[in-house]
Structure 1
Amino acid sequence: MPLAAPTSRFDAAAYLDWEAHQPEKHEYLAGEVFAMAGASRAHATIALNVATALRNHLRGGPCSVFISDMKLHVQADDAFYYPDVFVTCAESDRVQDQYMSAPSLVVEILSPSTSAYDRGGKFASYRKLPTLREYVLIDPERLSVDLFRRHEDGHWILYPAEAGQTVAFDSVGLSLPIETLYEDVDLQPGQAARHP
């Protein structure tokens, strides 16, 4: 039987124990929990396309690809998130089971209810991860990808991609036509994805 959500703030250890017994997923930020909403068909399809492309590319190597069922810990913010897709190549994450903490790439598929947070507060939190090299935001309603890359000087630079362009995941050495990420997604007229 699922445990009820605590009525007051609780620490990360209590959250991890409580979350392990919940039928739904909850993100955690400094003592507060937030229920995760369900995803649209387009959202789920794009996440699967991204994860599949990354998994096929990285298979057999030291990196692992995770989908939205694995938590990502941002210790600097006392936070646990469920990114749509992320990659970790860190030795320290190979011995973890409940959550990872050293990603090189994080991908979020936008939704109307989370878009502002994914671009603002969540991105600010992810930037505190010293291993993170790229943060990618994908719009499920049109061919539009915003890839933010951390450069050696610590600055984050935006590399946007639209129809007909390539998305370069330099952190893992993979470049894909943007249409590959949108395969089998019904977009607005004039935004149809190519189906290989």
Structure 2
Amino acid sequence: MSTALKQMTVDEFLVWAEDQEGRWELHDGAARKITPERIDHVRTKGEAFVALSFASRRAGCDCEVFGGGGGVQIDQRTVYAPDGAIVCGPKLPDQAILLVNLIVVVEVLSPATAAIDHGRKLSGYFSLPSVQHYLILDPERRVAIHHKRGVGDAIETRVLSDGVIRLDPPGFEVAVEALFPLL
């Protein structure tokens, strides 16, 4: 099937993607293959998962931390595959493909995805009422960009190379340094 010619709904995409090699996203009806991850990307994604999992457990949050793998449905023609997410509330069924009740979404920057991560994914993730925080991690500069839902339609942004990020909700802090591999 040529994805360049066929526009898909989320339901069609989920069925189609199960038979494909590699990871895919659906952008406004068009399937897009996710480029292979560089090692710095993989390391950062792993460290972020460990740091967020530890901080969530330490705070006693009723949340599950995912290190990638699940999809996030933005609308009927868009599904993103974030590098990490925190889902709170009822545990997702084992056979689920889509993550719901997301509170935090994490993306690790790569040269191929930077514009999308800072643009359409930023607005897409915050179009979901449950999303309170969007962390963009830059492994090259070791910087965390923390977008937080503010009052009304405002999105507050902080760029941090050290210190802590307060994720409330769900109610914990994580050190910026812990999100990146040791030097």
Give the TM-score of the pair, scaled to structure 2.
0.87
Residue segments in structure 2 that go unaligned for 5+ positions in a row: none
Deviations 1:20-72 (A, max 9, x none): 12221110123210000111111111111111122223347531111221111
Query: Does 2:157 correspond to 1:158?
Result: yes
User: Any residues of structure 2 matched to 1:51-130 within 5 Å, and which?
Assistant: 51-59=49-57, 61-75=61-75, 78-91=77-90, 94-95=92-93, 97-130=96-129
Structure 2 counterpart of 1:133: 132
Which secondary structure state, in structure 2, belongs to the residue aligned with residue 104 of structure 1? strand
* Distance in 2 (alpha carbons) for counterparts of 1:167 and 1:46: 16
| Cα displacement (A) at 1:5 | 4.2
| Cα displacement (A) at 1:9 | 1.4
Question: Whose Rg is larger?
Answer: 1
Deviations 1:90-124 (A, max 9, x none): 43x62470111321101111111111111011111
* Distance in 2 (alpha carbons) for counterparts of 1:159 and 1:74: 24
| Cα displacement (A) at 1:178 | 1.9
| CA 5–63 in structure 1, closer or farther in 2 if over 3 Å, else same | farther
Deviations 1:99-156 (A, max 9, x none): 1132110111111111111101111111110001001111110121110111243311
Deviates more, 1:17-26 or 1:60-69: 60-69
Residue segments in structure 1 that go unaligned for 5+ positions in a row: 185-192
Q: Provide the aligned C-alpha RMSD in A.
A: 2.0
* Distance in 2 (alpha carbons) for counterparts of 1:45 and 1:110: 12
Q: Residue type matched to 1:145 in 2?
A: A
| Cα displacement (A) at 1:83 | 0.3
Structure 1 counterpart of 2:25: 27
Structure 1 contact 74–129 (Cα < 8 Å) conserved:
yes
Structure 1 contact 90–103 (Cα < 8 Å) conserved:
no
* Distance in 2 (alpha carbons) for counterparts of 1:63 and 1:129: 18
Q: Which of 23, 44, 47 in structure 2 is aligned with 1:46?
A: 44
| Cα displacement (A) at 1:183 | 2.4
* Distance in 1 (alpha carbons) for counterparts of 2:54 and 2:63: 11
* Distance in 2 (alpha carbons) for counterparts of 1:83 and 1:63: 17
Instruction: Give the aligned length.
Output: 179
Which secondary structure state, in structure 2, belongs to the residue aligned with residue 172 of structure 1? coil
Give the TM-score of the pair, scaled to structure 1.
0.82
Structure 1 contact 74–101 (Cα < 8 Å) conserved:
no
| CA 177–55 in structure 1, closer or farther in 2 if over 3 Å, else same | closer
Structure 2 counterpart of 1:172: 170
* Distance in 2 (alpha carbons) for counterparts of 1:159 and 1:97: 33
| Cα displacement (A) at 1:13 | 1.6
